[in-house]
Structure 1
Amino acid sequence: MNKDLAGRVSVVGVGTTRYGKLPEYDAYDLGVWALKNALEDCGLSFDDIDGLIINRIADYQRFGEITGINPRYVTITPGQGRFSGICIQTAVAVISAGMAEVVALVYGNNGRSAGDAYGGASDAYGSGGAGPWFPYGMTSPGAFHALMMRRHMQEYGTTTDQLGAIAMAFRRHASLNPDAVMRTPFTLEEYRGARFICEPLRLLDYCLINDGGVAMILTSRERSQQLKKPPVYIRGFAQASALAGSTFPPEDYWRAPMQSVAREVYAMAGAGPAEMDALMIYDNFTPTVLFSLEGFGFCPVGESGPWVAEGKLALGGEFPTNTSGGHLSESYMQGWALNVEAVRQVRGECGARQVADANLVQYMTAAPVITSIIYASEAAAA
């Protein structure tokens, strides 16, 4: 990774919609709603946008027609959640190359109202397996992660109560977030009483499928100094993949590509895990949090279960994580809302859930494509 790119691009605007069942809005409506909020956040207009990256919305051409945007650079990406990080990194590259100056990244998802299924042969967003595995129950991302978790339990003695510690921490964070869909805290006993969806994973181990939209505005470091709010700098980013054999759960929990990404992102940022003030971990399921913590070096391999049980992910803990409630309790916006939360934490805009002196916040995804982004305040910019 080119270390010269550290801190050269900033996030200057973020916007979100309400989350929940919103049948009166389609994905275009939700994307436009979020984009308007992001533009208001930074004081720019549709006319200022010369780069457009669309995710989950069906047609970039129709979106441009609705908004009147005629960008110099435009692309559209597949609907899997791993593409949130990919899109942000693409925007950094586009701006750094001079292909656009102000890039809007727009996500709109009406999956709950549309009744989208995440699993099975007809799922366009990733079944978590492939056709040959369907007869054996590998028909959904939940089944995929349940099998990975079962292996982790066998190898390292990890327990479902330790998954419960993750789910409870994120729900407590959501209780402080007025935008979260699920805000009522629950006890370990209530977690244990939740029904199994795909054993050993319970209902409370799963993300929340909802309608919603998210948008981000990125620009150059120089342009960011002229705008409405303090810029949040992208101090480090990296990506790796494990596509070969990826239709079946990896035996190393994606550890090897995560370690590769960790080396790159920390080298680019000039900061390591211990210096992160907060974490945003892609939590489509609770086990993904465990795999990410091990892969990125926050705890030794095999020890993530006891590590999270010590309360390290909670507000006031060593590494406050998913302070919005994350996918498990705020809403499943496929990584986008987690990146927005990172920006808001660095800006100090999170109210009761604000992490003190959040100067470095790291986003990470564990999937067949691994991404990580480190956001920095002016004080911590490279």
Structure 2
Amino acid sequence: MQQKVSVMPFRHLSGKFAVCGVGTSAYGNFPETDDYGLAADAFAAAIEDCGLEKNAIDGLVVSRLPHYARMAEILGIQPRWTLQMPPHGRMSGISIIESLAALEAGYADYIVLLYANIGRSRRVHYGGEEAPGFWDPWGFTSMGAIHAMLFREHMEKYGTTTRQLAEVSVAFRNHAVDNPHAVMKKRIGIEDHQNARMICEPLRLFDYCLINDGAVCLILTTTERARDLRKKAVGIAGIGAQDALRNSSYPQHDFWFEPLQKTAEQVYGSAGLSHADIDGLMCYDNFSPTVLFSLEGMGFCGRGEGGSFVEGGALGLGGKLPANTDGGHLSNSYMQGWGLNVEAVRQVRGECGGRQIPDCEVVQYVQATPCTRSIIYTAV
């Protein structure tokens, strides 16, 4: 007899846990250091942010770092619960969910999550001849090629245009200008996007994420403990998760729609909220089309309507759904979703200055990859 799986498996976690500290390193080109050094900078910033004593840390999660034990040694901490995650972009959402499970089980009281990337100084290309044989069975040389074909399919199927796609890149760049830590500082308009050189048709230069060196740190604990620390606690109200793994990374014509729909049902159900409650969206933007796919799959607009939804500055400050207010992967830096979660926390705290969403109380993170994830952050 087949058992029915609950669509709201995380409801019992809602409101119990919070982010108490966040920190990032500088983003850019730093050949003089390494991933451990950048992660240590982000950790120090997060500790300073929340005022927690370092010896209180008893949980550690690392992603895209060589080894958790070496990281703990460098930081001078002695965690009793640890987790080494793979380097893939989908790990930001997964790491947060795994950490909540560890807190719920009592494996740790304060968990540090660390991510570091040294892709720019080490000239990581994420495709081509860098990993020969990996993409060969499917005829692609990189994830950029996959997303280019996906967007071409969206264009043919729904009439989406590259001018509509440009709205994503333009909105995020304008946000980055107001972010003192963002890599890209020059404003662009729709015509700048349209006139940029083609990388893999129909995607242009401004449709691709920025590969940089950098690191991100989040510290999670219970909501009760978080209230005793330096900064305003930001609660985790809802979680959604659905794998979409297939025989290749190409999502077989559906743009991750069904997994995103299941994730949406879980995240809104567990939080007891709806789309109308979302003040800001932090959306995984390794390539600009991913944002359109996420908007459709999560239900912010109808299927195939992502292009029309973003027209007229919808994703900008003052728009109907401000998104990626730090500049996102396209204009802040490609930290594989981790930086977007930090921005969500800072928005709820009201710390974002010129890019602050007015009266921001609820921010959603969405990750559309072969493992779709979503997290809703709220004021507590």
Structure 1 and Structure 2 fold alike (TM over 0.5): yes
Q: Partner amino acid for 1:24?
A: E
User: How many aligned residue pairs are there?
Assistant: 372
Confirm or deny: 8 A CA contact 1:144 1:249 kept in the other structure.
no
Partner of 1:113, secondary structure, is: coil
Alignment of 1:218-229 (within 5 A): 218-229=220-231
Which 5+ residue runs of structure 2 have no aligned equivalent?
1-8
1:264 aligns with 2:250: no
Aligned to 1:64: 72
1:37 aligns with 2:45: yes
- Equivalent residue for 2:170, pick from 168, 179, 196: 168
- How far apart are 1:250 and its partner, in Å? 2.4
Q: Partner amino acid for 2:269?
A: A
- How far apart are 1:2 and its partner, in Å? 3.2
- Equivalent residue for 1:17, pick from 25, 28, 45: 25
C-alpha distance in 2 between matches for 1:357 and 1:187: 27
TM-score normalised by length of structure 1: 0.95
Confirm or deny: 8 A CA contact 2:10 2:238 kept in the other structure.
no
Partner of 1:112, secondary structure, is: coil
Q: Partner amino acid for 1:22?
A: F
- How far apart are 1:121 and its partner, in Å? 6.0
- How far apart are 1:171 and its partner, in Å? 0.6
Confirm or deny: 8 A CA contact 1:145 1:249 kept in the other structure.
no
Partner of 1:153, secondary structure, is: helix
Q: Partner amino acid for 2:353?
A: G
Q: Partner amino acid for 1:113?
A: S
Confirm or deny: 8 A CA contact 2:233 2:379 kept in the other structure.
yes
Aligned to 1:342: 344
Can you list the C-alpha shifts for 1:171-194, whole angstroms capped at 9, x where unaligned? 111111111100111122211111
Confirm or deny: 8 A CA contact 2:10 2:266 kept in the other structure.
no
Aligned to 1:74: 82
Q: Partner amino acid for 1:292?
A: S
Aligned to 2:109: 101
- How far apart are 1:3 and its partner, in Å? 1.2
- How far apart are 1:122 and its partner, in Å? 4.2
1:197 aligns with 2:182: no
1:360 aligns with 2:362: yes
- How far apart are 1:222 and its partner, in Å? 1.7
Can you list the C-alpha shifts for 1:176-222, whole angstroms capped at 9, x where unaligned? 11111001111222111111110000010000000001100000112
Partner of 2:282, secondary structure, is: strand
C-alpha distance in 2 between matches for 1:78 and 1:121: 21
Which 5+ residue runs of structure 1 have no aligned equivalent?
none
Aligned to 1:284: 286
C-alpha distance in 1 between matches for 2:177 and 2:252: 34
Aligned to 1:333: 335
TM-score normalised by length of structure 2: 0.96
- How far apart are 1:282 and its partner, in Å? 0.3
Confirm or deny: 8 A CA contact 1:34 1:213 kept in the other structure.
yes
Can you list the C-alpha shifts for 1:124-177, whole angstroms capped at 9, x where unaligned? 9xx9x73312xx3x1101001001001000000000011111101111111111
Can you list the C-alpha shifts for 1:37-79, whole angstroms capped at 9, x where unaligned? 0011000132111000001111111111111221110011111
Task: Single out whichever of 307-316 and 114-123 deviates more from structure 2.
Answer: 114-123
C-alpha distance in 2 between matches for 1:331 and 1:361: 20
RMSD across aligned C-alpha pairs, in angstroms? 1.3
Aligned to 2:214: 212
1:119 aligns with 2:127: yes
Q: Partner amino acid for 1:132?
A: P
Aligned to 1:90: 98
- Equivalent residue for 1:130, pick from 113, 127, 135: 135
1:6 aligns with 2:6: no
Q: Partner amino acid for 2:232?
A: P
C-alpha distance in 2 between matches for 1:243 and 1:2: 21
Pick closer, same or farther for the CA change 1:123–1:102 going to 2, 3 Å.
farther
C-alpha distance in 2 between matches for 1:172 and 1:67: 36
Confirm or deny: 8 A CA contact 2:280 2:357 kept in the other structure.
yes
Confirm or deny: 8 A CA contact 1:25 1:110 kept in the other structure.
no
Can you list the C-alpha shifts for 1:234-282, whole angstroms capped at 9, x where unaligned? 0001111111233323211000000000000000000011110000000
Confirm or deny: 8 A CA contact 2:172 2:326 kept in the other structure.
yes
C-alpha distance in 2 between matches for 1:48 and 1:121: 45
C-alpha distance in 1 between matches for 2:331 and 2:131: 23
Confirm or deny: 8 A CA contact 1:121 1:131 kept in the other structure.
no
- How far apart are 1:4 and its partner, in Å? 1.8
C-alpha distance in 1 between matches for 2:14 and 2:33: 38
Confirm or deny: 8 A CA contact 2:10 2:239 kept in the other structure.
no
